Homo-oligomer: A and B are copies of this chain.
């Protein structure tokens, strides 16, 4: 590999080296290059799309199968109402500033980080007006043409479109897959046989219309999100901590950050809960699993940390939030997953906006209470008189609201806003009634671990990258390596290719992902395979023709063992399920 031993090349950072390999071998590359490229979009080539899919499948085994979660699929294009309810239309905006000369537009807070040395936390908490003042104070100018910077505005970073032929039917490209789960909560709860806790996952494309994305595969306008929404009763926050006990997390709690430090504490997960660093059991549980998941993808614990978001950094729905960060050579600490305690915020908002009851009912065990409750009775004659053909709808909407809120509003404001209708005191009778409470109704709370599948893929690649004997070698975990096995005839003559193709076909039929390669010297073929992280190579040589045995070569150690062809399916299956090691695959050569 001339490229690697070239001293100029040595100066490249790991991102450059990995991206170059990724491009050359078909993991990923910038999209639409023939049209000059559009930043924020990448193409996953044949190997990359396989690697990404295997990481997602590993996520399924690791989280979904372990906990019996559900997976669903909803649309990327979403009617505006959903993101109005969720608060995204209001909150999903970034500060933008335009150069007065070249008219280019930039993230105002990013400019302050880059050219005035503010930290992300400092720049992130500034209001539009404060940003303007800071940019002026630091004399920040246009990084492209040195022009002076003009007005500051908030830019909605959701992609906007219209659904169907009416201009007022706004649709957004979803910035998260979570809302597709929340809007369908009632059906999902029924499918879960109306029992808490339960969790639902969605893995799919999401869109964020970044103002000026850079950072290749790290900051994308279109990416694959893995959102896991876990619904639980806040009075019964009891995750199976025995699964994760002993797992040490490197935590930077908000209180530490507020003192100006970013030195992580190393705390065992149950201890972190007990000490109150993590406020919810399920949050802690998923953080511990997330740490372990990244270890299995090849990132050692010391290159991971969980940083608690400060109040002004947290998403609008979050009561406590941690970012799981991984250290990358070029960019430093980069988020690969976010862990948020979303409380009952989202379901509560959808309940408010849709007038559909999102509460669940839980019986008290063996006890009942007698309680006085406010009830409302619609005065039908008045309602018919005032609302005409809308009367039925008004009555229906009234049945879904909180009587106490209605009563309070009538007292305070003289009316109650019921969707598009104004309810006056004469429309309803408010009364008290003693009722027997057999249980309670409440909106489930939600803990959300959320991963970026593209970032996981890049991180896995960067951590797998290394060299051996002066050549590139991807030490990909065997359960995510895109190609599992290479099959090689030692030479491409004398019947060896035919025999090798038989073995190739047999392994394909076992459901394994197998490459067949007969071009070039065997050394070159091994090198090509190492470079894309193929864990095992099966070589067919002259002895194979005599006794039906082959050699199996280990990518990482280059050691070889010999075994019978007929035993391969079972041996290899065990190996890729981590039930056998390389040494179990045959006799050392």
Residues on A facing B (Cβ under 8 Å): 23, 25-26, 29, 31-35, 38, 40-41, 43-46, 48-50, 52, 61, 65, 70-79, 81-82, 96, 105, 155, 159-166, 171, 173, 180, 183-184, 186-188, 191, 200, 204-205, 207, 209-212, 221-222, 350, 353-354, 356, 508, 511, 577
Given A43-B184, A160-B161, are A49 and B35 neighbors across the interface (CB < 8 Å)?
no
In the complex, chain B residues whose CB is within 8 Å of the CB of A65: 508
| Interface of A (DSSP majority class) | mixed
Task: List 9 additional A-B contacts (Cβ < 8 Å) besides A35-B354, A45-B70, A160-B161.
Answer: A35-B81, A43-B74, A43-B184, A44-B73, A45-B72, A46-B200, A49-B71, A159-B162, A163-B221
Asked whether B46 lies within 8 Å of A96 as measured between CB atoms, the reply is no
Lowest 6 A-B CB distances belong to which pairs?
Answer: A46-B70, A34-B354, A44-B73, A75-B222, A49-B73, A26-B191
Bound form: Cα–Cα A337–B200 in Å: 31
Bound form: Cα–Cα A96–B511 in Å: 49
Bound form: Cα–Cα A546–B522 in Å: 55
In the complex, chain B residues whose CB is within 8 Å of the CB of A31: 74-75, 180, 183-184
Bound form: Cα–Cα A526–B44 in Å: 43
Asked whether A26 lies within 8 Å of B163 as measured between CB atoms, the reply is no
User: Which of A77, A96, A159, A165 has the most CB atoms of chain B within a 10 A radius of its CB?
Assistant: A165
Bound form: Cα–Cα A71–B105 in Å: 36
Bound form: Cα–Cα A161–B172 in Å: 9
Bound form: Cα–Cα A165–B50 in Å: 33
Asked whether A43 lies within 8 Å of B155 as measured between CB atoms, the reply is no
In the complex, chain B residues whose CB is within 8 Å of the CB of A96: 165
17 contacts between A and B (CB under 8 A): A23-B187, A25-B191, A31-B183, A33-B187, A35-B81, A41-B75, A43-B180, A44-B74, A46-B71, A75-B222, A77-B222, A159-B161, A159-B163, A160-B162, A161-B161, A161-B173, A165-B211
Contact among B161, B187, B221 with A29 in the assembled complex (CB-CB below 8 Å): B187
Asked whether B70 lies within 8 Å of A38 as measured between CB atoms, the reply is no
Asked whether B73 lies within 8 Å of A76 as measured between CB atoms, the reply is no
**Distance in Å: Cβ of A155 to nearest Cβ of chain B:** 5
Asked whether A38 lies within 8 Å of B71 as measured between CB atoms, the reply is no
In the complex, chain B residues whose CB is within 8 Å of the CB of A74: 31, 41, 43-44
In the complex, chain B residues whose CB is within 8 Å of the CB of A38: 79, 163
Chain B residue at minimal CB-CB distance from A185: B34
**Distance in Å: Cβ of A525 to nearest Cβ of chain B:** 13
In the complex, chain B residues whose CB is within 8 Å of the CB of A75: 31, 41, 43, 205, 221-222
In the complex, chain B residues whose CB is within 8 Å of the CB of A180: 31, 43
